[in-house]
Amino acid sequence: MVVIMESGAKTVEPKDHVSGDNLEKLSHWMTRLTEEVQLALAETTKAVVSLTAVVELIRSQAANVEKMAEEVSELAGMAQKRTEHLACSPRFEYDLHRSCCDLAGPG
């Protein structure tokens, strides 16, 4: 390997031998790194499982909301028909007139 410096070029010979201390430090560092990666992977897996459960719950709730919306729509249609039926009834007109008279008071 050649290192170029301002004062010129210097050839650096690669080391064929790495000291035992350096190997031990590297081994220790790699072990710690592996443990940290495994921990991060376990936490990520746990988070993914939790998020999957949340997504399934949301899907289930969305299906329930959709079903309730259909039921509300049906009830609204029934209420509309009932209102139309009552509005055409002579009894409804009498009750409406009586209610208006009650609001107006005596006289």
Q: Count of H helices and E strands in the chain?
A: 2, 2
What would the pLDDT profile of 24-52 be if each residue is shown by its tens digit? 899 999 999 999 999 999 999 999 999 99
Amino acid letter, residue 92 = F
Q: Structure tokens of 22? A: 């350096």
Query: For position 1, what pLDDT does the model report?
Result: 43
Looking at the predicted structure, is the pLDDT value of residue 21 above 60?
yes
With vertex at residue 99, the alpha carbon angle to CA 105 and CA 77, rounded to the nearest 5 degrees, is 155
What would the pLDDT profile of 51-93 be if each residue is shown by its tens digit? 999 999 999 999 999 999 999 999 999 998 888 777 676 665 6
Per-domain residue ranges of the chain? 22-104
Query: For position 85, what pLDDT does the model report?
Result: 75
CA distance 27 to 20: 10
Please state the pTM of the whole predicted model.
Answer: 0.46
